[in-house]
């Protein structure tokens, strides 16, 4: 059994961001690090988007940037000036190439393309078993999501942000490559929160995703039928599907941090790093991974890493509303974007606002459902 200082079980976004920043910090050159994942990270398997004001370490991986976005429903179309923010798209393969381009040069870091089948923790050591090998470490970062543990409890609502997306190339020059469609709720809601998300990269090319915030997934045919209908509504008659992607991201305020021990830290979706109210992962993981690298330089007890904030409670209320009344999503997002300041909304979603700014955003939402959600939380406590 080979021993490492740090093992990452799962080499997803959170793990790769953390290890990349560990290298950049120059503080972990004397530590041996192992990343384990059944995915070789050599395909363009996903797309991440995030908004930013300033330069980041991920800028070289950005495939497309937009300064404007569109919000729409059946009765409204609003162009959103994102200034001082920009909306950015990173494709999975570009991110992997940037990260592994650096990691491959480090003698103390190893990536092994194997599936983790068991993790055992004792007082003195952690044993990680793959299908063919066994490894040991003193500190472990786990990003393998345990859906059963989360979905078998009833105290915290669990929804899914689930979607299928098509990258298409059209014969007609339909798209505006300078504007992303952030949310288009003009699609039939069918008792849920459903919208189209469009990221145009040229006048003839775009990623179109049919997305839901709801409890249950659809059949593949249902997503793809809605994408076809939307493409037809845009006036596109001839197109080619270049790539497809699909995903389901848990949206919950379940207290993942309670599963941490002094030596095992859950990160990424398994650690609650996904923004619960939106399903956005990139920006939150970027912030959390930076906090973790700083933490590792001064602390050893992983139970001390997580700090609950006011935004956890805000997300809990929002999910409580959609859990009971999933059809209210359109009304809630419309109330925010119809007349709200887009940059303030993005700042709020980034969890960077003051309490006064929080109120400016929150008070635009429908009052009664959220008041009921507050009383439910008080009653539950």
What angle is formed at CA 182 by the lines to CA 338 and CA 144, rounded to 5 degrees?
A: 125
d(CA 68, CA 79): 7
Predicted local distance difference test score (pLDDT) of residue 368: 83
Total domain count for the chain? 3
240 with 276, same domain: the answer is no
- Residue 85, in any domain of the structure: no
CATH (domain of 142): 3.50.50.60
Domain of 373, in residue numbers = 310-380
Whole-number pLDDT of residue 381: 53
Smallest Cα–Cα separation from 254: which of 125, 148, 101, 333?
148
For residue 279, pLDDT beyond 80: yes
Same domain, 167 and 229: yes
If asked whether residues 121 and 263 sit together in one domain, one would say: yes
Q: Within this chain, do residues 49 and 126 fall inside the same structural domain, yes or no?
A: yes
75 found inside a domain: no
Looking at the fold, whether 131 and 210 belong to one and the same domain comes out as no
Residues 225-273 have pLDDT tens digits of 999 999 999 999 999 999 999 999 999 999 999 999 999 999 999 999 9
125-162: pLDDT as tens digits: 999 999 999 999 999 999 999 999 898 998 999 999 99
In terms of domains, do 114 and 57 share one?
yes
Report residue 173 as tokens: 């020059």
Handedness of CA 58, 62, 82, 181 (dihedral sign): negative
Closest to 248 (Cα-Cα) out of 147, 156, 180? 147
Q: DSSP readout, 31-79?
A: S-EEEE-SS-S-S---EEEEEESS--TTGGGEEEEESEEEEE-SS-EEE
Say yes or no: 49 and 144 in one domain: yes
Q: Are residues 116 and 231 in the same domain?
A: no
pLDDT score recorded for residue 248: 95
Within a domain: residue 165? Answer: yes
Do 12 and 144 touch, CB atoms closer than 8 A? no
Provide the mean pLDDT of the chain: 95
Last residue of a domain, one of 251, 276, 294: 251
Would residue 82 count as lying in a domain?
Answer: no
Neighbours of 28 (CB within 10 A): 21
Q: Check whether residue 34 and residue 101 sit in a common domain.
A: yes
CATH of the domain at 242: 3.30.9.10
Summarised one tens digit per residue, pLDDT across range 16-50 is 999 999 999 999 999 999 999 999 999 999 999 99
Quick count: other Cβ atoms within 10 Å of Cβ 24?
A: 12
Residues 350 and 204 in one domain: no
pLDDT of residue 375: 72
Q: Is the dihedral of CA 65, 175, 49, 187 positive or negative?
A: positive
The per-residue pLDDT for 379 is 64
pTM for this entry: 0.94
Are 314 and 266 part of one and the same domain?
Answer: no
């Amino acid at each position: 059994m080979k021993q490492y200082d740090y093992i990452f079980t799962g080499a997803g976004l959170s793990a790769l961001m953390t290890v990349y920043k560990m290298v950049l910090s120059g503080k972990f050159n004397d530590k041996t690090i192992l990343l384990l994942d059944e995915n070789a990270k050599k395909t363009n398997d996903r797309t991440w988007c995030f908004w930013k004001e300033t330069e980041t370490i991920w800028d070289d991986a950005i495939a497309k940037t937009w300064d404007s976005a569109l919000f729409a429903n059946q009765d409204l179309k609003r162009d959103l000036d994102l200034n001082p923010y920009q909306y950015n798209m990173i494709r999975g393969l570009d991110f992997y190439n940037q990260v592994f381009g650096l990691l491959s040069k480090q003698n103390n870091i190893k990536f092994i393309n194997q599936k983790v089948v068991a993790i055992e923790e004792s007082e003195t050591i952690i044993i990680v078993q793959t299908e063919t090998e066994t490894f040991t470490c003193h500190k472990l970062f786990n990003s393998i999501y345990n859906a059963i543990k989360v979905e078998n409890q009833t105290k915290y609502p669990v929804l899914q942000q689930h979607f299928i997306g098509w990258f298409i190339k059209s014969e007609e020059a339909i798209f505006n490559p300078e504007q992303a469609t952030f949310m288009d709720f003009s699609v039939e809601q069918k008792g849920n929160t459903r919208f189209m998300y469009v990221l145009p990269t040229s006048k003839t090319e775009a990623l179109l995703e049919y997305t839901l915030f709801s409890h249950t997934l659809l059949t593949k045919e249902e997503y793809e039928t809605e994408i076809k209908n939307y493409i037809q509504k845009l006036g596109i008659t001839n197109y080619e599907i270049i790539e497809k992607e699909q995903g389901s991201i848990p949206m919950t305020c379940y207290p993942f941090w309670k599963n941490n021990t002094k030596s095992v830290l859950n990160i990424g979706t398994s650690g609650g790093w996904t923004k619960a109210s939106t399903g956005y992962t990139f920006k939150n993981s970027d912030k959390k991974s930076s906090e973790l690298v700083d933490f590792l330089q001064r602390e050893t007890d992983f139970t001390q890493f997580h700090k609950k904030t006011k935004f956890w409670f805000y997300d809990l209320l929002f999910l409580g509303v959609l859990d009971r009344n999933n059809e209210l999503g359109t009304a809630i997002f419309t109330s925010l974007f119809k007349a709200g300041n887009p940059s303030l909304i993005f700042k709020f979603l980034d969890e960077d606002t003051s309490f006064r700014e929080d109120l400016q955003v929150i008070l635009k939402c429908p009052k009664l459902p959220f008041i009921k959600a507050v009383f439910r939380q008080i009653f539950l406590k």
